[in-house]
Structure 1
């Protein structure tokens, strides 16, 4: 099942550390089959309020997403981002092509 590493960064201090992070991250993704699906951009907000940047990185499965995050290569550059941005980051699995909205009812909410 496809899994995603998602970050909602509410603030980013652009500078040399973030530039170094951006220059290095692609090489950390490649061994785990990771690729950017969404990388910032300005959303067309239809409801509610939005601020910050959304980053979504897709992986073939959750095990590879977790392995990427914990890898020595990514852990080496992680402080470059973490020390110069604020927000939430998490891993989550997607749904398969046959998923329907009502499937969530069978899961008990």
Structure 2
């Protein structure tokens, strides 16, 4: 069974960077979802990454990639991961990543 995670970050550059990392994982479907432009803006920004992962190896590889990506960042970065089927949401950062990874695994396993 596939699980769709919706990942958001305050900075569009962070989403683009994470998308690059996640695209290296075979079997993941990774898409950027744009936001509608605000009044007075010319174009849409990037709001979220939509990541579809099956359970097992692909999902585990996705979680390991997210963990490595967060640990490689120098800034105080926060991302939100939401399971689109259950609406459960977890916020990750470099300080809580080890505590949160088991919760993400549970989300992946349903």
TM-score (norm 2): 0.46
Higher CA-based Rg: 1
Q: Of the two structures, which has the highest relative contact order with CA contacts closer than 8 Å and spacing of 6 or more?
A: 1
